[in-house]
């Protein structure tokens, strides 16, 4: 692609003002209220929340539901922000639907190369009921890094990882290296991702951090995170 083509794509990305936020497992769109509010108020973005059956729905059912949700909005371009399992759902949708409308993706605290905590829970009879159907399929049995890397060939994907180890994951496993209490930094890697940044937040506090939202907005607008302002 020539420089003029690249410049047009960059301009198109910067002009996208629509954002869809996706919650994680055992959650609801209301958990993303502060992220939505700041993206609207501080950055003038049009933000919607996508709710899905994080336990009862299968990975592909939820990905298909996201596709239908986007089609119903009528948006011809949209960025996606997914927390934890929400980032996996977003990548699955894009992996299954390469013709999806253009836009960038930010995964925050998403286990993209597997999850030690989820892997342990999946071996327990009671754990299987808690994890449901989507998370094992997209995280434990075959991690997103194994089936979503090609998404990065035609889509800018940014990843935010937390380094404050406070969370439920520490109750069921130990982590090697930095983690957010539920997901290890090493588990947030995605081959081909445009950018990856670590921030001093936990798996839950990243949902209420103004700094995290500022980084999300930076990536959505320019395809890279802020480095000098941290």
Residue-wise pLDDT tens digits, 32-89: 999 999 999 999 999 999 999 999 999 999 999 999 999 999 999 999 999 999 999 9
Three-state DSSP at 66 gives helix
Q: Which region holds residue 114: left if phi is over 0, alpha if psi is between -120 and 50, else beta?
A: left
DSSP state of 150: G
The predicted structure's pLDDT at residue 172: 79
Q: Return d(Cα 84, Cα 182) in angstroms, integer.
A: 9
Termini Cα distance of the chain: 33
Alpha-carbon distances, residue 52 vs 22, 193, 222 (angstroms): 8, 25, 29
Q: Could you name the CATH architecture of 3-222?
A: 3-Layer(aba) Sandwich (3.40)
**Mean pLDDT to the nearest integer, 191-195:** 98
pLDDT for res 169: 73
User: How would residue 14 be classed by pLDDT, with cut points 50, 70 and 90?
Assistant: low
pLDDT at position 4: 39
Tens digits of residue pLDDT in 122-147: 888 777 788 999 999 999 999 999 99
């Amino acid at each position: 692609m020539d420089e003029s083509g690249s410049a047009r794509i960059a301009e198109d990305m910067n002009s996208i003002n629509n954002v869809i936020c996706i919650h994680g497992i055992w959650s609801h769109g209301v958990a993303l209220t502060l992220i939505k509010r700041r993206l609207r108020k501080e950055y003038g973005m049009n933000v919607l929340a996508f709710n899905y059956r994080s336990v009862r729905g299968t990975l592909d059912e939820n990905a298909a539901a996201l596709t239908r949700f986007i089609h119903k909005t009528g948006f011809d371009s949209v960025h996606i922000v997914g927390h934890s399992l929400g980032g996996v759902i977003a990548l699955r949708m894009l992996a299954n639907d390469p013709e999806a409308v253009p836009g960038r993706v930010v995964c925050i605290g998403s286990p993209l190369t597997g999850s030690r905590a989820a892997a342990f829970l999946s071996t327990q009879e009671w754990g299987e009921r808690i994890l449901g159907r989507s998370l094992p399929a997209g995280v434990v049995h075959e991690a997103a890094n194994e089936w979503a890397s090609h998404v990065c060939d035609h889509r800018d994907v940014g990843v935010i990882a937390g380094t404050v180890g406070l969370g439920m994951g520490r109750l069921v496993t130990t982590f090697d290296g930095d983690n957010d209490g539920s997901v290890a930094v090493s588990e947030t890697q995605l081959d081909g991702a445009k950018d990856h940044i670590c921030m001093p937040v936990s798996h839950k506090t990243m949902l209420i951090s103004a700094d995290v939202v500022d980084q999300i907005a930076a990536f959505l607008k320019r395809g890279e995170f802020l480095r000098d302002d941290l």
